[in-house]
């Protein structure tokens, strides 16, 4: 049974396990190694089930636990060329010999087909991933300022999608603790996806076959789970798509509470 297990999800830390109890991959390591292991155990997944690590990009909320993970395990780590160079340059990985280019994805020691697509984000070379296992295709798509044709092609036809709903535009605009340049960066085409934009894309995803939508990477300062959920639900409802009937819609927690999506 394929599972999507969000271990941590916010602007401060992101990591998700996709697979089965006997094998799967981590997409990003945005929490400490200790927290990661504890989160997997809480979800009933032994750490030994992790066969590889896929990195989307080099920002700290996605790789802060990578150094310790690669220090204490021999797991292979896959990243785009630009991201790999950034990880080595910033000292985010203990052993660069276990860092592999995305062209080597077929070498993952587990029966799964992995694909990737580039995402528009202010990093070296950000990507999203798709994993096909147990006849299900799952996408992990976060950190994108806008939805490009490559992103659309990458996630089209997926059964389930973990998709960014980062911020509420009004909350971002009135946030007095954020300077204007930071607000401009977040709302740019190489920043993050707003709730409404996420909702519009979710409509496309459902039309292309998605039955399960999981909202992730929510800002803890410029969004709330309820705000994101309602924005996406209402956008879908406006075009006749009913959550609970035509698809399921969930929000990933900041830290896992042991729940997951089963396919």
Q: pLDDT tens digits for 136-164?
A: 999 999 999 999 999 999 999 999 999 99
Question: Rounded to an integer, what distance in angstroms lies between the CA atom of residue 3 and that of residue 259?
Answer: 10
Q: What is the pLDDT of residues 43-85, one digit of tens each?
A: 999 999 999 999 999 999 999 999 999 999 999 999 999 999 9
Alpha helices, H only, the chain: 33-42, 60-63, 66-72, 81-89, 149-155, 169-174, 180-186, 195-207, 225-237
Question: Rounded to an integer, what distance in angstroms lies between the CA atom of residue 133 and that of residue 28?
Answer: 19
Rg (CA), the chain: 17
Note the pLDDT of residue 252: 97
DSSP string for 201-260: HHHHHHHTT--EEEEE---SSS--HHHHHHHHHHHHHTTTPPBTTTBEEEE--SB--S--
How does the average pLDDT of the chain come out, rounded? Answer: 95
Question: Rounded to an integer, what distance in angstroms lies between the CA atom of residue 178 and that of residue 255?
Answer: 24
Is the model's pLDDT at 212 over the cut of 90? Answer: yes
Question: Rounded to an integer, what distance in angstroms lies between the CA atom of residue 4 and that of residue 195?
Answer: 21
Q: Report, as an integer, the average pLDDT of 235-259.
A: 96
Q: Under DSSP, is residue 188 helix (H, G, I), strand (E, B) or coil?
A: coil
Write down all domains in the chain, each with its CATH number in brackets: 3-262 (3.60.15.10)
Q: Report, as an integer, the average pLDDT of 206-235.
A: 98
Note the pTM of the prediction, 2 decimals.
0.96
Q: Report, as an integer, the average pLDDT of 91-109.
A: 87
Is the model's pLDDT at 8 over the cut of 90? Answer: yes
Note the pLDDT of residue 22: 80
Instruction: Let me know if 149 is exposed, middle or buried by CB neighbors in 10 A (0-12, 13-18, 19+).
Output: exposed
The pLDDT confidence band at residue 109, using thresholds 50, 70 and 90, is low
Note the pLDDT of residue 263: 86
Backbone angles phi, psi at 251, to 5 degrees: -120, 130
Question: Rounded to an integer, what distance in angstroms lies between the CA atom of residue 149 and that of residue 123?
Answer: 19
Q: Tokens standing for 227?
A: 């705000």
């Amino acid at each position: 049974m394929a599972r999507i297990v969000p271990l941590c999800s916010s602007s401060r830390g992101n990591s998700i396990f996709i697979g089965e109890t006997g094998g799967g991959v981590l997409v990003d390591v945005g929490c400490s190694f200790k927290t990661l292991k504890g989160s997997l155990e809480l979800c009933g997944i032994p750490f030994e089930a992790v066969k590889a690590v896929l990195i989307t990009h080099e920002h700290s909320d996605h790789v802060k636990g990578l150094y310790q993970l690669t220090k204490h395990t021999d797991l292979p780590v896959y990243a785009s060329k630009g991201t790999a160079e950034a990880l080595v340059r910033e000292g985010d990985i203990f052993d660069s010999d276990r860092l592999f280019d995305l062209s080597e994805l077929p070498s993952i020691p587990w029966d799964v087909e992995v694909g990737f697509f580039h995402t528009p984000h202010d990093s070296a070379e950000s990507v999203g991933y798709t994993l096909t296992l147990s006849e299900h295709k799952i996408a992990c798509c976060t950190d994108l300022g806008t939805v490009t044709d490559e992103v659309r092609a990458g996630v089209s036809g997926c059964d389930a999608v973990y998709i960014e709903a980062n911020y509420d535009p009004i909350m971002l605009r009135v946030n007095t603790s954020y300077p204007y340049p930071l607000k401009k960066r977040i709302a740019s085409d190489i920043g993050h996806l707003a709730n409404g934009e996420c909702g519009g894309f979710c409509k496309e995803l459902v039309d292309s076959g998605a039955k399960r939508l999981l909202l992730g990477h929510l800002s803890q300062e410029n969004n709330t789970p309820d705000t994101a959920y309602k924005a996406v639900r209402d956008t879908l409802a406006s075009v006749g798509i009913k959550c609970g009937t035509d698809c399921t819609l969930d929000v990933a927690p900041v830290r896992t509470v042991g729940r997951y999506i089963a396919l």
